[in-house]
Amino acid sequence: MFRFLGNDLEDIFPGSSEMALSMRAHDWTATPLGDPRSWPDGLKIPLRMLLTSRFEMWLGWGDDLHFFYNDAYIPTLGVKHPHALGRPFQEVWAEVYDDVADQVGRVRAGESTWNQALMLLLERSGYQEETYHSFSYSPLYGTQGTVQGMLCVVSEETERIIGERRLETLRQLGMGLVGTTDRAQVRRAVCDVFGTNRRDFPFALIELAHGESSESFSCCDDGASGADHVWPEEPPSLREGGLVRLDPAHSWPTGAWSIAPREALILPVPGTGDQPVFGRLFLGLNPYRRDDPDIADFGRLIAGQISGALANIAAFEAERRRADRIWAHSRDLIVVVDSTGIFRAVSPSWETVFGHRADEVVGHPFADFIMSDDLESSTAALATALGEGDLTGYENRFRTRDGSYRWVSWHTAMEDDLVYAYGRDVTEQKAGAAALSAAEDALRQAQKMEAVGQLTGGIAHDFNNLLTGIVGSLDLMQRRIAQGRFDGLERYSQAAIESAQRAAALTQRLLAFSRRQPLDPRLVEPAMLIGGMTDLIHQSLGEAVSLELRCDDEALVTKCDPNQLENAVLNLVINARDAMPHGGKLVIETGLHAVVSAQVAHGQFAQPGTYVAVTVRDDGCGMAPGTIEKVFEPFFTTKPIGSGTGLGLSMVYGFAHQSDGFVEIESAVGRGTTVRLCLPWAEGDLAPELVPSLKPEVVQADQQRTILVVEDEPAVRMLLVDVLEEAGHRVLEADNGAAGLEILRGGEAIDLLITDVGLPGLNGRQLADAGRALDASLKIIFVTGYAHAATGDDDWLSPGMQIVTKPFDIQGFPKRVEEILDET
């Protein structure tokens, strides 16, 4: 058996701690334990461990369990230190000995015990104090193998237990106050919490102000007398804790304890902002926690939670009062409708707007008051408000008492299967909007008539000249024929044709401006096309202007209507020439132009991508910024009256837009102008012909086909029938869509339908659709001079369909017919 060898006091009581020094200085010979040098190892060994440990420990030895403890245990003893050293255990902890006496007996019998957070009312501060300790008792054996003492390892948990208890109180109070909507609910939530935690506060009273008076409530059944107690109006300041001593003669509730509280904490329940306090809180304090330094802060947290709930209620009540005022005085409509369409509430404004009293509306379906024409849509709108989502700006009409109606614009929200709707009378606004719309229509009509006047003023001179050339040539041809003279007829006919072609070009300008001209897009190489126009450009410029072509060496291809591209370039060239009246230099170049990000310029939207650019640059007079902003407007021109129509750049603008491109313009006064026409970059083989021949070859059909011509203009129908019959075809004709449909239904096989688009009644597109329904393989050529839907878009033309624009080359028309008939 191990034996402790040291007999000096420093070996028995090792270290320099307070208790080691005290034990060495203690006169042990005056105690039943005697001289320490004669103590058994069963005492010396655990004693040495006790003094060298930082854990709270004490041990008792002998029949009376004489008390030994280390420095860590001193706070637990409090005022009993240092007199507890060597005293019997039962004497040291006389106040709690009965609580542990049974455990002491079990230890003497050789059993160990354990206690988790055991509450002990210790008198370590001069009074009984609520404490919590977790500790174990273990037996200590003497030389004879019998239990002669016991060792206690202890951990005080008072602050943890009480802290957790107070946090739980705050948590429960916060949960109870959530959603409270009146003071009665606040009182119940507060009293529920203080009714379950009566250790920190044996009793709790709450006093709430009501105007000039107040009312007090007790949170426990045995505390009613406290509510009637006369409390001081001005309690000690919160700096002093707000504490008041309680009259011991009064019967105060004891809560979880056997004795009454000695003090109470009085706390204001603060108002919000500059608001007065909501009331006061009176809390009786735990008599076993005197001089608690944290109790005032804990009470303030409780008062703050109550204040927050009361502030929310005050704000809610203020909002409710405001809502009541809105409900009572609002000039707009506020209604509540249930899922069956019954009015559950309507604001007094209903009578102001419609003349019906509220009691005549509530309980009745909205269908009784709504205009019959709006009932179906309003029923669907209510279903939407009940299910899919809130309505915003929904309008319908309600009848008034005098039989008229008023327009209302509604906004809704749903809650608990009820629709809450806010409506505004918009009758006057709608009447004003209708009047404004009529005024705008009149203004647009006036602007349209002004535009027509500008148009006629700008182009009448040109058209009259062209008509003179046409009519005069035809008159001379008729006179020569009547005289039997045929010499010179070709010269007159050529003059008439050229004048007619110029008139057609002017018509195309108008259509391009309106962006309604049908296009014939093909793969085009702009550099090649401009090269073929060189002579025409030189003739248009005159001798005072020099021309420089800068075409990219790479063959750049775009898809557009080559004829319209020619017209656009020629318009830009003529504008440049007119900007250099005293001569100058004109540069035309082609190349690629990259657009990195989407941009908007001159009212056009340019998508990112690569474009083929045709740039026309002059060193003429240039333009001011205000002029640049208007150059693409129809009929706008800087030229003298009679010198231009103002349609040139409008045509270029419309052509670029229809071709999925755009136009850029840069100019400055005295520094010239640059116009860049950008068209999408394409890949593919070029069309075999960029410009149709002036004298197309005469086409004779390989085989006779049956062709139906439907045209309401007799002269055009006659020309089409004659030229097709000369080509060897069998031709049927009709002057309207209905007659053409009868022929298609007649059962005769038709190889090709040629129809005008703008027929009266059944139009050309409808006729074509009907023909395709009878024969899905029917080939179709549309002939049009002004087609709103015929834009050359592939989405509009199905396979086996083509479009020809009036006026067209009548001699070359049979070739177009052969091309479509030969398609597979």
Strand segments (E) across 609-695: 609-618, 662-667, 673-682
Task: Name the band, by pLDDT with cuts 50, 70 and 90, for residue 673.
Answer: very high
Q: What percent of the chain has pLDDT over 90?
A: 32
pLDDT of residue 636: 59
CATH superfamily of the domain spanning 518-682: Histidine kinase-like ATPase, C-terminal domain (3.30.565.10)
pLDDT of residue 343: 86
pLDDT of residue 603: 62
In the predicted model, what is the mean pLDDT of residues 52-66? 96
pLDDT of residue 3: 40
- Least confident range of 205-214, 611-620, 659-668, 734-743: 205-214
Distances (CA, A) of 321 to 209, 231, 325, 418: 19, 34, 6, 22
Within the chain, all domains assigned CATH 3.30.450.40 are found at 162-322
In the predicted model, what is the mean pLDDT of residues 639-665? 71
Q: Residue 358 class from Cβ within 10 Å (0-12 exposed, 13-18 middle, 19+ buried)? A: middle
The pLDDT of residue 801 is above 50? yes
Strands 66-69 and 56-61: antiparallel
> Which residues have C-beta within 8 Å of that of residue 657, sequence separation ≥ 6?
515, 604
Question: For residue 578, which of 542, 631, 547 has the smallest C-alpha distance?
Answer: 542
Rg (Cα) of the chain, in Å, rounded? 54
pLDDT of residue 194: 87
pLDDT of residue 4: 40
74 vs 649, higher pLDDT: 74
d(CA 559, CA 439): 43
pLDDT of residue 786: 56
In the predicted model, what is the mean pLDDT of residues 322-332? 72
Task: Name the band, by pLDDT with cuts 50, 70 and 90, for residue 147.
Answer: very high
pLDDT of residue 629: 75
d(CA 812, CA 476): 26
Task: Name the band, by pLDDT with cuts 50, 70 and 90, for residue 235.
Answer: low
User: What are all long-range contacts of 404-411, with beta carbons under 8 Å and residues at least 24 apart?
Assistant: 405/371, 406/353, 406/354, 408/333, 408/353, 410/381
Distances (CA, A) of 366 to 382, 397, 549: 10, 11, 77
Sign of the torsion angle spanned by Cα atoms 227, 232, 234, 239 = negative
The pLDDT of residue 416 is above 70? yes
pLDDT of residue 508: 60
pLDDT of residue 499: 64
d(CA 28, CA 143): 20
d(CA 770, CA 806): 24
d(CA 181, CA 162): 32
d(CA 733, CA 743): 9
SS3 585: strand
d(CA 680, CA 661): 6
Structure tokens that stand for 24 in this block: 């060495």
d(CA 207, CA 216): 4
The pLDDT of residue 151 is above 90? yes
Neighbours of 123 (CB within 10 A): 15
Within the chain, all domains assigned CATH 3.30.565.10 are found at 518-682
Start-to-end Cα distance in the chain: 118
- Least confident range of 193-202, 299-308, 807-816: 807-816
Distances (CA, A) of 209 to 184, 206, 267, 279, 626: 13, 10, 14, 5, 73
The answer to whether 744 and 734 have CB atoms below 8 angstroms apart is: no
Q: What percent of the chain has pLDDT over 70?
A: 82
The answer to whether 43 and 61 have CB atoms below 8 angstroms apart is: yes
Strands 673-682 and 662-667: antiparallel
500 vs 70, higher pLDDT: 70
> Angle at CA 205, nearest 5°, toward 202 and 206?
145
SS3 408: strand
Mean pLDDT of the chain: 82
pLDDT of residue 467: 60
- Any idea which fold 330-425 has? Beta-Lactamase (3.30.450)
pLDDT of residue 513: 45
CATH tag, 9-156: 3.30.450.20
SS3 150: strand
d(CA 124, CA 141): 30
The pLDDT of residue 771 is above 70? yes
The pLDDT of residue 54 is above 50? yes
Tens-place pLDDT, residues 247-297: 888 888 888 999 999 998 999 888 877 788 888 888 989 999 988 888 889
d(CA 174, CA 177): 5
In the predicted model, what is the mean pLDDT of residues 96-117? 95
d(CA 778, CA 553): 45
> Which residues have C-beta within 8 Å of that of residue 12, sequence separation ≥ 6?
6, 36, 37, 39, 44, 47, 48
d(CA 693, CA 106): 128
The most confident of 33-37, 193-197, 541-545, 546-550, by mean pLDDT: 33-37
Range 162-322: architecture per CATH: 2-Layer Sandwich (3.30)
- Least confident range of 84-93, 380-389, 398-407: 380-389
Within the chain, all domains assigned CATH 3.40.50.2300 are found at 706-822
Tens-place pLDDT, residues 719-769: 888 889 888 899 999 999 999 999 999 988 999 999 998 888 899 999 999
Within the chain, all domains assigned CATH 3.30.450.20 are found at 9-156, 330-425
pLDDT of residue 16: 94
The pLDDT of residue 213 is above 70? yes
Q: Could you identify the residue written with the tokens 């007090």?
A: 216
User: What are all long-range contacts of 444-451, with beta carbons under 8 Å and residues at least 24 apart?
Assistant: 451/634, 451/635
DSSP tally for the chain: helices H, then strands E: 23, 29
CATH tag, 706-822: 3.40.50.2300
Task: Name the band, by pLDDT with cuts 50, 70 and 90, for residue 643.
Answer: very low
Tens-place pLDDT, residues 351-373: 788 888 878 888 888 888 898 88
pLDDT of residue 537: 83
Using CA atoms in the order 41, 47, 51, 54, what is the torsion angle rounded to 10 degrees? 110
pLDDT of residue 356: 86
pLDDT of residue 240: 46
The pLDDT of residue 635 is above 70? no
Residue 68: alpha-carbon gap to chain centroid: 74
The pLDDT of residue 438 is above 90? no
- Least confident range of 11-15, 634-638, 811-815: 634-638
Helices (H), 231-366: 295-329, 349-354
Residue 647: alpha-carbon gap to chain centroid: 44
Structure tokens that stand for 226 in this block: 């406290």
- Least confident range of 77-91, 494-508, 557-571, 659-673: 494-508
The answer to whether 765 and 797 have CB atoms below 8 angstroms apart is: no
Strands 147-156 and 129-141: antiparallel
The answer to whether 739 and 711 have CB atoms below 8 angstroms apart is: no
